[in-house]
Amino acid sequence: VQLQASGGGLVQTGGSLKLSCVATTSGFAINTMGWYRQAPGKERALVAAITSGGRWHLADFAKGRFDISKDNARNTVWLQMDNLNPEDTAVYFCNAGYDYSLTEPGDFWGQGTEVTVSS
């Protein structure tokens, strides 16, 4: 499985970004895709995840500001991020797995896309 993430960039406080991630598989179905982020000096943390059946999970800091969606046929997941603030500055990693866990990372990681929010 290969994951290709895109959509990061520089945005001002209060702005929005939409991250995309496309999974290329060898035939086995990807059942869960999600996003993690890692800020400088901090551990990687779950942002949001969604299953092929539509169950989803958002971290507390993301609730009310971020939204995750998925197109199963295209193996694509999006993370819409609104009302961004400097604390959201991090490298965002796409994650995917064959199981249905919404709170544990799957086995596959993308290369990361950088999000910088200026004050």
- CA pair distance 34, 79, nearest whole angstrom: 8
Mean pLDDT of 79-103: 96
Alpha helices by DSSP H, the chain? none
- CA pair distance 82, 20, nearest whole angstrom: 15
Phi, psi of 47 (to 5 degrees): -105, -55
- CA pair distance 64, 53, nearest whole angstrom: 22
Per-residue pLDDT tens digits for 16-32 = 999 999 999 987 889 99
| CA dihedral sign of residues 3, 114, 19, 104 | positive
Per-residue pLDDT tens digits for 35-59 = 999 999 999 999 999 999 999 999 9
